[in-house]
Amino acid sequence: MTTGSSSPSSASPAPAASPVLPGASRVAAIDCGTNSIRLLVADVDPVAGTLVDRDRRMEVVRLGQGVDRTGRLAPEALERTLDAARRYAAVIADLGATRVRFVATSATRDAQNRDEFVAGVLDALGVEPEVVSGEEEAALSFRGATSTVAAVRPGPYVVVDLGGGSTELVLGTATPDAAFSMDVGCVRMTERHLRSDPPTPDEEAAARADVRAALDEAAGVVPLGRAVTLVGLAGSVTTVTAHALGLAAYDRDRINGAVLPVETVLAACDDLLHRTRAERASLGFMHPGRIDVIGAGALVWSEVVRRVHDDVAAAGGSLTEVVTSEHDILDGIAWSQA
C-alpha cells in the first residue's frame, strides 16, 4: 500500500546518534509498499504521548512492478528492495534503535513468491517482515494519522491511505470502527489502465469505473457518510497537495496538516492526471519515482474525495475541506512498538 512522501533518500547518511529521550524507547519502523520502502527511527514515549523523529527516509523501489499481471515479485524489483533494506539496517544500527518492526503490504500480500522476499529481509535486517492484512494496514495508518490530526480537527475521521497497490479506508474517532482495503492504487491503476502519455479518455474512463466499483464495495463496509473530517495520507495525496499549494519544491512542513477546499483538491488531481510525463517531471516538488504513476494516484484520490463528499451530503452533512497528513502507517508502526 503505502507509498510515502518525498522525504530524504535512503542514500543519505544517517544523522549522528543522539541520546534517547528520558522515558522513551528508540524504535525503527519500516513500511514496504508497492511503490516505495520507508524508514522511521523515532523516540516513542507512550506515557507522554510523544513521538520524536530521529530519521525519516524513503526510496522508490517499485516492489510491485508487474505483480498485478504476473502474480509474482520481479527479480529486479526484489533486489532493489533488498538493497534498500540493507542500507536501512546500517542506519538503524548507527542510531541505536532497540526494536525494529518491518511491515509489508499490498504487493507482498499478492505475490506467489513472497517467501523469497521474507528470506531476503530476514538476512538483511535480522527481522522477519510481517505481511499484514489490509485491515491491519488500515488500523496502523489510522493510528499514525490521528495521533496528530485529532488534536486540531473533529471526528469521526475517514482516513484514506492511498498506496501503490491498494487503498485503505478506515472510519473512526478514538479507534477504528470500520475498515476496508481496496485493490486500487497508483501503480496498479497505471499498469492496468493508464498506459498512454497522457492517458486517453477511454483509459481514464476504464480506470474511474474500476475505482468506483471498488468504492461501492468499500461503502458497504465503511459508512463514509459519517465522516466529519476526511484525511488523506501517502505519496500520491501529498504530491497532489504540493501541486494544489503551488509549491516550487517539496515542503513537508507546509504539506503536513494542509487543509484544502474539496474543489481545489479535485482541480489539482485533474491537472496532474492530464499532464504528460515530461510536464510532471518539470514540477519542482515531484519525486522522480512518482512521475509515471501520479496521474493514476490523482485519479484515485479524486474519486475517493468525490465519493466521501457525496455520501456525507446524502447523510445530511457537509464536507467542504480535505486534510493532508504526513503522519501515516509509518508512525503507526512506530507507535505499535511503544
Integer Cα distance of 298 and 85 in angstroms: 28
Contact by Cβ (8 Å): 28, 99: yes
Cα three-residue angle 271-286-171, rounded to 5 degrees: 70
- Classify domain 25-134 at the CATH topology level: Nucleotidyltransferase; domain 5 (3.30.420)
Residue 84 has pLDDT above 70, yes or no: yes
Phi and psi at residue 166, to the nearest 5°: -145, 165
What residue has cell string 518539470?
A: 282
Q: Burial letters for 29-44: b for 16+ Cβ neighbours within 10 Å, e otherwise?
A: bbbbbbbbbbbbbbbb
Residue 264 has pLDDT above 90, yes or no: yes
Q: Region 161-177: what's the mean pLDDT?
A: 91
State whether residue 317 is helix, strand or coil. coil
Exposed, middle or buried by CB within 10 Å (0-12, 13-18, 19+), for 248? exposed
Q: Which residue has the higher pLDDT, 228 or 68?
A: 228
Average pLDDT, the chain: 90
Q: Which residue has the higher pLDDT, 248 or 112?
A: 248
Tell me 235's DSSP state.
H
H helices of 166-234, in order, are 186-192, 201-219
129-155 pLDDT tens trace: 988 887 788 888 888 898 888 888 999
State whether residue 176 is helix, strand or coil. strand
Q: How far, in Å, are 84, 90, 100, 160 from residue 13 at the CA level?
A: 13, 10, 19, 32
CATH 1.20.120.1200 fits 144-329, yes or no: no
All 3 cell numbers of residue 205? Answer: 474512463
The confidence score (pLDDT) of residue 148 equals: 81
Do 25-134 and 144-329 come out as alike in CATH topology?
A: yes
Full-model pTM? 0.81
**DSSP codes, 28-94:** EEEEE-SSEEEEEEEEEETTTTEEEEEEEEEEE--TTTTHHHHSS--HHHHHHHHHHHHHHHHHHHH
Residue 6 has pLDDT above 60, yes or no: no
Cα three-residue angle 2-223-300, rounded to 5 degrees: 40
Q: Where are the domains of the chain?
A: 25-134, 144-329
17-34 pLDDT tens trace: 788 888 889 999 999 988
State whether residue 114 is helix, strand or coil. helix
The confidence score (pLDDT) of residue 133 equals: 80
